[in-house]
A and B are shown apart, each in its own frame.
Chain A
Amino acid sequence: MTDIAESDWQPKIVAFLCNWCSYGAADLAGVSRLQYPPHIRAIRVPCTGRMNPKFLLAAFRQGVDGIWVSG
């Protein structure tokens, strides 16, 4: 397995973040200035209970390399 950090690959990752926990955690990561690669695009959801399987299919159809659902 090649080290992603060393390769040119620029993955596209979508994150569905629960407003009440993970979205707040992502905010806190910012406040704490934790640095991470700039490949994630977050979509705020009111609760991961809102997650519809079709969202995942739509994201993959859109060509994303990974999906992160967190809540």
Chain B
Amino acid sequence: MTMPSEFDQGIGPRKATYKPYAQAIPGGYAIDKRDRSPCTNGCPNHVNAHAYVSLIAQGKYQEAMAVILRTLPFPGTIGRICPHPCETACRRGEVDEPISICALKRFVADQVDIEDIPVPEIERRDEKVAIIGSGPAGLTAAHFLGLEGYESTVFEAQSVAGGMLRLGIPDYRLPPEVLDKEIRAITRLGVEIKLNTALGRDVTIDGLFKDGYKAVYLAIGAHKSMKLGIAGEDSKGVISGVDFLRQVNIGQLTRVDGSTVIVGGGDVAIDAARSALRLGADKVTILYRRTRAEMPALKEEVEQALAEGIEIHFLIAPTKIMTHNGLVSAIECLRMELGKPDASGRRRPVPLAGSEFNLPADLVIPAIGQRPHINFLSEIAGLELTRWRTVVTDPVTYSTGIDGVFAGGDAVTGPWIAIGAVAAGREAAISISRYLKGEDLLSGRDPVEFPQKNFVPIPEKIDKMPRAEQATLSMAERKVDFAEVELGLTEAQARAEAEKCLNCMSCCECLECVAACKAEAVKHEMRPETMNIEVGSVILAPGFETFDPSRYDEYAYNELDNVVTSIEFERMLSASGPLKGHLVRPSDHEEPKKIAWLQCVGSRDINHCDNRYCSGVCCMHAIKQAVIAKEHSKNSLETAIFFMDMRTFGKDFERYYDRARQEHEVRFVRSRIHSVDPESTTNNLILSYVDETGRINEEIFDLVVLSVGMQTPAGVLEMAERLGVELNSDRFCASNSFSPVATSKPGIYVCGAFRGPKDIPQSVMEASGAAAAAGSDLSPARYTLTRTAESPPEINVKGEPPRIGVFVCHCGINIAGVVDVAAVRDYATTLPYVSHVEDNLYTCSQDAQEQMLQIIKEQKLNRVVVAACSPRTHEPLFQDTLADSGLNKYLFEMANIRNHDSWVHGNDPGAATEKAKDLLRMAVTKVALLEPLKETTVEITQSALVVGGGVAGMIASTQLADQGYPVTLIEAKAELGGHALHLRKTWRGEDVSSFLKDLISRVNDNSRIKVHLNAELQEVKGFVGNFQSKIRITGNNGAKSTTLRHGVAILATGGRAIVPDEYLYGRHPRVFRWHELEDALEAKQLQDARCTVFIQCVGSREPNRPYCSKICCTFSIQQAVTLKETYPEMDVYILYRDIRTYGQREELYARARAAGVIFIRYSMEEKPVVNTDGGDRLQVVVKDHVLQRPLLLTPDFITLATAIEPFETKALAQLFKVSRNEDHFFAEAHAKLRPVECATDGIFLCGLAHYPKPVEESIAQAQAAASRAITLLAQKTLQVSGQVAAVNPMKCSACGVCVAICPFGAPGFNDRNLSEINQALCKGCGLCVASCRSGAIDLKGFEDKQIFAMLEEL
């Protein structure tokens, strides 16, 4: 079952059984199952049409047959005669025409001989069942009872078996040999058919019970014709439709002469008419009292009848049958018209007065319906009948009023389609089986309603195709005999038809996976469950969806193959993606030579959508994609990014942007897009855009990538409403700047893109921040639900000769399907020191682990090798088993004979087996040389040091203290507050000073936080969990030093705005910087001002400081808006390079423009020039980006948004051995994955010392840093791997190379001046081992002798 992979954006396929993506957690496979397929759902017997159609498409006919036989023992029969409600329901009809499901079923039955299918081994049961009637209901019941082990006897009144299937359907539709074959297949299951044995005449129900039958199933059908109720009906030459067909079918009637008139519009009427034609009738006419639209007969059958020359007269009803010499001569009729609808919903025919006419007829066949023969039914005591003379049963169990008697089929429903009778027979078999076992008949059988809504969507691009039609017998051949008219689909037709299936349900429940999974892990009967889980807090991280660009007409995303979204392009670029990293465009799979990226699709846009915010990530990913695309391309690739503002505001982003421009020659075009149009003769695209000067340009590209924005999915909005969590106007989760990860509902926290569009580093920070906030609530419950793993004491194996146990894994068929596992196992016995060998189906399974544990103990093994998969995934599991058995866990080795062998050499089993032996031999050799290693346990000092008393440092401190950990907070200045002391309002207008006041008092009042002001760090010793820091505190009485022990440290030393030496700053009293403007405003110094200018990027994004200070655009625009609102007459200019109001801050930018703030863009090459007019008056000259002309502004004051730089970080970096980036901000261990941790264990970072950021991001990051620090502190002790380097002091020459080379500072000189490695700091990389020229260092677990030994066994 293949469908477009969601992860690959529909570019590549996936199966219904799939792993959402390679790194998905949990790592297991999922089965995608939607609503039940309409075909299956539409079938009264729920035959799984979807599954057998899919299997036909794959050419798996045996498997398709098995699927059909799960519910239907008559594939060939039903495949020929069914009116196929499955096809009526088929969604392919919405595209073109329904799939020919019925003909496909027949096709399968034609391919597979049902009598060749082996009878399964069934445990026989003693109870026998009597079944009355050998029609589809009776025989189906017999079939399924047989599969349950019950023998049955089927009593048939007629001389042939099959009921209506045999007697009511002419041979040209259903050749008798097809039915007979399927009946014979049923009799193999212990079913005996007694012909010419009628209920009431030959047997009775009481008699059957007396004869030892334990249950009776009444399936006598409905064979009695209904009468027309007109004069002359009993004349010679009048025969009912079912009687006529029966006589024809059993060979009693072989010839018909003259003119035949059939009355009725159902299948029986058509069958009778076509049969009469074949028996020699000169003229065959059908009279039907309504119109063709109301005719219940199968459409195909009616068409065939007309094609064969049968006349159908509509709106005609017989009134009298006239005779001549006692024989029928004519039929008197009335013309009708349609009146009001009757109970059946069809319009009732009403006679037209005076329209009588006569139609000559030699044979009249009334075929207007049937009902059961009830003469003998009414004599059965306790059997209740309806007024239509059908049997009354329970609707679910089909039990009658008589104990042990069940009924079904047409006898219960009245005349209905055969598949309905099959369904009844199958249900009866379930009931009878349960009855005989004494089980509850009803339990678990409540009818399940499938809503029929959630299906796999119909692809947008789908070719319309005609329905496969079977070849039919020529007209000439048809009139000769009863040869089958429909000849079945050819294999090519069937495969092609089956491939048209839309796979509505995704997984079709063919159950092939159940058979394939040797571990029996697949459970299709699983259903959604509702669970109640008691929790102390909830974190919402539901993420985002990308904007669907189809609604933009100008990008023609739906129409043009070579217009793709950025997320599709991401998959196209990915080495593990659907194109395997070979970049080709969709239309013709040619390598593109010129690609354009269009920015802000579904962002910063309230015309096409309601997303006025900036999605914040698209600029960077467009640049990244352009750079990577260039790297992928063998030929020279041109790339151009069309944008409004380039927003590379994150850490190290601006540098990347610079490199893309300068080194990779990515072209950046400041523009607005007009349209994307196809070039007429190629698959290329014409991009029309307006550049900054207003000029319209056209340029041709091979491929256009739409950088689509982020938005909250509808399902998440619904969830928010259910939870009662407030949203903001941009449909993200509402939160405030001071508790950024808290929602409007206490105890519910939020992180990631649901809190506003953001990139991965910010999301990960927020995630840790949310964990900290939730952790504070849960702090009292810490350790209450934890359990400690207990291992037995370790057995000392030192000095023992190796006794190696080898376990070779089949991994189901993953290894055993290629590698000869038995040969590898036997080979292992020949290797030295091996004392136990076995192979397992799955060595990693729970039972195999228990067995391994027993064997280690019983066989006194002291080394173990598992030949299976990768140690990267499974080594810890086996090591735990070793530890549980008392063995040191390092006495273990794996041979990777799956990932490195069977999976990659599938086409060469012989070589794969030899390789498996080699790998195993190498592993056995190594394991023999392994020694028990000791893991060091390091106690963690349960306290933290926080350096820096700004908002970040204080938040981190309170977070740690709230969770119970003592904190020492040191601040270099004389007061707490840091940079925030200068802030008045956040961009949302929240009051920073009152927040800060409250935070400072919370810090001061917290008994777990000890604050040292005027304090500086002088010395740091130790390592993660065990730091000793010397702090120098300057007080009124001079300085004193104190030494502090702490387990972790958080660096939050903050930043400051630079003091520029340009734009007359410091030389003119009305040139301000940042908050000096606010101070001046507060002092009412600017009331008379008429004009003001803000200059952005002062000292930022310049060669000596090539980063964006991130907060300046928002700050200046906020100030500008305030000025405009306070002094509407004032001219406010903002001179900028790119406006970077990322995320929801975009709203502020829109407000400023609406308020009349004038934005003038300048370039690095042409910076504004600030002068005075010679006197006091300020002048600014800037080149207008639209007019391309210099403008002279004469502001009353100027505000400079100067760069933010970190406070001195060098000394601290040296003390804690942490690194800084080129701009002197502290460097995180990994920008995305470990954004608040330093590469040195136990050191964390947050706030402006990491990068410029607004207060809300500082707070979230501080919470994150505390959270990560607590994950360390909460462990209380650290377990350090035994695979570490160790120095042999006898060989050490004290050269110091190891000390210099180690990135982690693990080696040091001891008091004997020899190198010694601190196990707690060693990461086991082996760098020192390789560099030691004295050969004094070795790496435990990867010792030289072990590797040499492996090499010798190559």
Q: Assuming A43-B1347, A46-B1324, A50-B1342, is B1352 touching A38 (CB within 8 A)?
A: no
**Taking CB as reference atom, which chain B residue is nearest A53?**
B1330
Residues 895-939 of chain B: 1 if any A CB is under 8 Å from the residue's CB, otherwise 0? 010111101111110011011001100100000000000000000
Q: How far is the CB of B916 from chain A (nearest CB, A)?
A: 10
In Å, the complex CA distance between A63 and B1327 comes to: 27
- The answer to whether B1325 and A64 touch across the interface, beta carbons within 8 angstroms, is no
Question: For the complex, is B1329 an interface residue (Cβ under 8 Å from A)?
Answer: yes
**Considering the complex, which residues of chain A in the window 30-69 have a beta carbon less than 8 Å from any beta carbon of chain B?**
30-38, 40-47, 49-52, 54-55, 58-59, 62-64
In Å, the complex CA distance between A62 and B905 comes to: 24
Q: Which of A33, A49, A59 lies in contact with B904, CB distance below 8 A?
A: A33
Q: Assuming A43-B1350, A49-B1330, is B907 touching A26 (CB within 8 A)?
A: no
In Å, the complex CA distance between A47 and B1285 comes to: 13
Question: For the complex, is B59 an interface residue (Cβ under 8 Å from A)?
Answer: no
- The answer to whether B900 and A42 touch across the interface, beta carbons within 8 angstroms, is yes
Q: Assuming A23-B872, A31-B22, is B905 touching A38 (CB within 8 A)?
A: yes
**Taking CB as reference atom, which chain B residue is nearest A56?**
B1351
- The answer to whether A26 and B1354 touch across the interface, beta carbons within 8 angstroms, is no
Q: Assuming A31-B903, A36-B904, is B1344 touching A46 (CB within 8 A)?
A: no
Question: For the complex, is B871 an interface residue (Cβ under 8 Å from A)?
Answer: yes
Residues of B within 8 A of A27 (CB): 870, 872-873, 896, 899-900
- The residue in B872, B1325, B1327 that gathers the most chain A C-beta atoms within 10 A of its C-beta is B1325
Q: How far is the CB of B813 from chain A (nearest CB, A)?
A: 13
Q: How far is the CB of A64 from chain B (nearest CB, A)?
A: 6
Q: How far is the CB of B554 from chain A (nearest CB, A)?
A: 39
Residues of A within 8 A of B576 (CB): 28, 32
Q: Which of A19, A36, A52, A62 lies in contact with B1354, CB distance below 8 A?
A: A62
Q: Which of B898, B906, B1330 lies in contact with A50, CB distance below 8 A?
A: B1330
Residues of B within 8 A of A46 (CB): 1283, 1324-1326, 1339, 1341-1342
In Å, the complex CA distance between A59 and B697 comes to: 63
In Å, the complex CA distance between A34 and B904 comes to: 6
In Å, the complex CA distance between A3 and B872 comes to: 35
Residues of B within 8 A of A54 (CB): 1344, 1348
- The answer to whether B1330 and A52 touch across the interface, beta carbons within 8 angstroms, is yes
Q: How far is the CB of A54 from chain B (nearest CB, A)?
A: 7
Q: How far is the CB of A39 from chain B (nearest CB, A)?
A: 8
- The answer to whether A29 and B904 touch across the interface, beta carbons within 8 angstroms, is yes
Q: How far is the CB of A10 from chain B (nearest CB, A)?
A: 9
- The answer to whether A41 and B872 touch across the interface, beta carbons within 8 angstroms, is no
- The answer to whether B1327 and A50 touch across the interface, beta carbons within 8 angstroms, is yes
In Å, the complex CA distance between A39 and B1339 comes to: 28
Residues of A within 8 A of B901 (CB): 30, 38
- The answer to whether B1325 and A52 touch across the interface, beta carbons within 8 angstroms, is no
- The answer to whether B1351 and A59 touch across the interface, beta carbons within 8 angstroms, is yes
- The answer to whether B899 and A55 touch across the interface, beta carbons within 8 angstroms, is no
- The answer to whether A50 and B900 touch across the interface, beta carbons within 8 angstroms, is no
Residues of A within 8 A of B1348 (CB): 54-55, 58
**Taking CB as reference atom, which chain A residue is nearest B914?**
A38
Residues of A within 8 A of B900 (CB): 26-27, 30, 40, 42
In Å, the complex CA distance between A49 and B912 comes to: 30
In Å, the complex CA distance between A28 and B580 comes to: 13
- The answer to whether A41 and B1330 touch across the interface, beta carbons within 8 angstroms, is no
In Å, the complex CA distance between A12 and B915 comes to: 11
Residues of B within 8 A of A40 (CB): 900
- The answer to whether A33 and B903 touch across the interface, beta carbons within 8 angstroms, is yes
**Taking CB as reference atom, which chain A residue is nearest B903?**
A30
Q: Is the interface of B mostly helix, strand, loop or mixed?
A: helix
Residues 1-24 of chain A: 1 if any B CB is under 8 Å from the residue's CB, otherwise 0? 000000000001010000100011
Residues 1071-1109 of chain B: 1 if any A CB is under 8 Å from the residue's CB, otherwise 0? 000000000000000000000000000000000000000
- The answer to whether A52 and B1329 touch across the interface, beta carbons within 8 angstroms, is yes
Residues of B within 8 A of A62 (CB): 1351-1352, 1354
In Å, the complex CA distance between A61 and B899 comes to: 28
Residues of B within 8 A of A38 (CB): 901, 904-905, 908, 911-912, 914-915
Q: How far is the CB of A18 from chain B (nearest CB, A)?
A: 9
**Taking CB as reference atom, which chain B residue is nearest A29?**
B904
In Å, the complex CA distance between A42 and B896 comes to: 9
Residues of A within 8 A of B907 (CB): 35
In Å, the complex CA distance between A38 and B904 comes to: 8
- The residue in A27, A34, A51 that gathers the most chain B C-beta atoms within 10 A of its C-beta is A27
**Taking CB as reference atom, which chain A residue is nearest B919?**
A41
- The answer to whether B915 and A41 touch across the interface, beta carbons within 8 angstroms, is yes
- The answer to whether B899 and A30 touch across the interface, beta carbons within 8 angstroms, is yes
Residues of B within 8 A of A30 (CB): 870, 898-901, 903-904
Residues of B within 8 A of A33 (CB): 903-904, 906
Residues of A within 8 A of B1352 (CB): 58, 62
- The answer to whether A31 and B1326 touch across the interface, beta carbons within 8 angstroms, is no
Q: How far is the CB of A8 from chain B (nearest CB, A)?
A: 13
Q: Assuming A36-B904, A50-B1327, A52-B1329, is B1351 touching A58 (CB within 8 A)?
A: yes
Residues of A within 8 A of B903 (CB): 30-31, 33
In Å, the complex CA distance between A28 and B900 comes to: 9
Residues of A within 8 A of B1354 (CB): 12, 14, 41, 59, 62-64
Q: Which of B899, B905, B1324 lies in contact with A26, CB distance below 8 A?
A: B899
- The answer to whether A51 and B922 touch across the interface, beta carbons within 8 angstroms, is no
In Å, the complex CA distance between A58 and B908 comes to: 29
Residues of B within 8 A of A42 (CB): 896, 900, 919
- The answer to whether B1347 and A55 touch across the interface, beta carbons within 8 angstroms, is yes
Residues of A within 8 A of B1350 (CB): 43
Residues 1162-1194 of chain B: 1 if any A CB is under 8 Å from the residue's CB, otherwise 0? 000000000000000000000000000000000
Q: How far is the CB of B913 from chain A (nearest CB, A)?
A: 10
**Taking CB as reference atom, which chain A residue is nearest B922?**
A41
**Taking CB as reference atom, which chain A residue is nearest B1332?**
A52
Q: How far is the CB of B901 from chain A (nearest CB, A)?
A: 8
Residues of A within 8 A of B1342 (CB): 45-46, 50
Q: Assuming A30-B899, A34-B904, A35-B906, is B1351 touching A45 (CB within 8 A)?
A: no
- The answer to whether B1329 and A43 touch across the interface, beta carbons within 8 angstroms, is no
**Considering the complex, which residues of chain B in the window 1311-1354 have a beta carbon less than 8 Å from any beta carbon of chain A?**
1324-1327, 1329-1330, 1339, 1341-1342, 1344, 1347-1348, 1350-1352, 1354
Q: How far is the CB of A52 from chain B (nearest CB, A)?
A: 5
Q: Which of B899, B912, B922, B1341 lies in contact with A43, CB distance below 8 A?
A: B922
- The answer to whether A41 and B918 touch across the interface, beta carbons within 8 angstroms, is yes
Q: How far is the CB of B412 from chain A (nearest CB, A)?
A: 54
In Å, the complex CA distance between A14 and B1329 comes to: 21
In Å, the complex CA distance between A50 and B1338 comes to: 10
**Considering the complex, which residues of chain B in the window 706-720 have a beta carbon less than 8 Å from any beta carbon of chain A?**
none
Q: How far is the CB of B399 from chain A (nearest CB, A)?
A: 54
**Taking CB as reference atom, which chain A residue is nearest B894?**
A44
Q: How far is the CB of B1127 from chain A (nearest CB, A)?
A: 60
In Å, the complex CA distance between A55 and B906 comes to: 30
Q: How far is the CB of B1035 from chain A (nearest CB, A)?
A: 48
Q: Assuming A45-B1342, A46-B1326, A58-B1348, is B911 touching A24 (CB within 8 A)?
A: no
In Å, the complex CA distance between A16 and B873 comes to: 19
**Taking CB as reference atom, which chain A residue is nearest B1283?**
A46
**Taking CB as reference atom, which chain A residue is nearest B926?**
A43
Residues of A within 8 A of B1325 (CB): 46-47, 49-50
Interface residues of B (CB under 8 A from A): 22, 576, 870-873, 896, 898-901, 903-908, 911-912, 914-915, 918-919, 922, 1283, 1324-1327, 1329-1330, 1339, 1341-1342, 1344, 1347-1348, 1350-1352, 1354
A–B complex contacts, Cβ < 8 Å, 16 sampled: A29-B899, A30-B899, A34-B904, A35-B906, A38-B901, A38-B912, A41-B919, A41-B922, A42-B919, A45-B1347, A46-B1324, A46-B1342, A49-B1326, A50-B1339, A51-B1326, A64-B1354
Q: Which 6 A-B pairs have the closest CB atoms?
A: A50-B1326, A30-B899, A49-B1327, A30-B903, A47-B1325, A38-B911
New A-B contacts (6) at CB < 8 Å, excluding given A27-B900, A35-B907:
A30-B898, A33-B906, A34-B904, A35-B905, A43-B1350, A49-B1327
